[in-house]
């Protein structure tokens, strides 16, 4: 038998919110967006890829802390209405 998957409170809240949405084109679109966003965040495709394969001008840069990616996520967050 598979081990149960433990979720953080934040993960549970996200899953519950998604499950509470009625089946609709909106829910389908939200699911697709979340899947794409999570895939991108997990493995960002660098917008600064150099011809020599170095991800950006700084070969020591950590892609998880890429300013381009963080700026994009911040801009997306600012466009969302708050409750």
* pLDDT attached to residue 69: 73
User: Which of 36, 39, 42 shows the shortest CA–CA distance to 66?
Assistant: 42
Strongest mean pLDDT among 1-10, 52-61, 71-80: 1-10
Give pTM, 2 decimals.
Answer: 0.64
In this model, does residue 65 exceed pLDDT 70? no
For residues 44-59, give the mean pLDDT. Answer: 59
Of the pLDDT bands very low, low, confident and very high (cuts 50, 70, 90), residue 21 is very high
Scan for tokens 């966003």, then name that residue: 37
- What whole-number distance in Å separates Cα of residue 43 and Cα of residue 5? 23
Helix (H, G, I), strand (E, B) or coil at 80: coil
- Burial code (b: 16+ CB inside 10 Å, e: under 16) for 14-52 equals eeeeeeeeeeeeeeeeeeeeeeeeeeeeeebeeeeeeee
* pLDDT attached to residue 50: 57
For residues 17-25, give the mean pLDDT. Answer: 96
For residues 72-80, give the mean pLDDT. Answer: 86
2, HSE (Cβ side, Cα atoms, 13 Å): 3
């Amino acid at each position: 038998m598979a081990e149960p998957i433990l979720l953080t409170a934040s993960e549970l809240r996200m899953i519950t919110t998604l499950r509470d949405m009625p089946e609709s084109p909106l829910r389908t679109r939200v699911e697709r967006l979340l899947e794409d966003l999570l895939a991108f965040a997990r493995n960002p495709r660098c917008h600064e890829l150099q011809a020599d394969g170095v991800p950006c001008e700084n070969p020591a840069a950590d892609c998880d802390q890429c300013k381009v990616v963080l700026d994009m996520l911040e801009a997306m967050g600012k466009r969302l209405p708050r409750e």
